[in-house]
């Protein structure tokens, strides 16, 4: 899950040992983070899904290519 700190707060990340950056960070789901969410210290944000890769079109034979 991805969390961002509430405005004006510095929230410690126990896994990394440093404060969360203002833009947030992906963290492991744990009771620590759920307590921070419940207390209003952080907000869970949606992580953007990676765009699906478009399939590679099949190769087309070149003109004049022999079979």
Tell whether pTM > 0.85: no
- Which pLDDT score is estimated for 63? 72
Domain tally, the chain: 1
- The answer as to whether 30 is a domain residue is yes
- The answer as to whether 25 is a domain residue is yes
29 in Cβ contact with 20 (< 8 Å): no
Q: What is the mean pLDDT of each run of 10 residues along the chain (67 residues)?
A: 96 96 95 97 84 66 65
- The answer as to whether 32 is a domain residue is yes
Rounded Cα gap, residues 11 and 42, in angstroms: 8
- The answer as to whether 33 is a domain residue is yes
Report angle CA 1, 17, 41 to the nearest 5 degrees. 50
- Which pLDDT score is estimated for 64? 66
Residue span of the structural domain in which 10 resides: 2-45
């Amino acid at each position: 899950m991805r969390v961002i700190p509430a405005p004006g707060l510095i929230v410690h990340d126990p896994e990394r040992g440093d404060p969360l950056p203002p833009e947030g960070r992906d963290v492991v789901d744990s009771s620590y983070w759920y307590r921070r969410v419940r207390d209003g210290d952080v907000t869970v944000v949606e992580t953007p899904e990676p765009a699906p890769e478009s399939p590679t079109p099949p190769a087309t034979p070149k003109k004049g290519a022999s079979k």
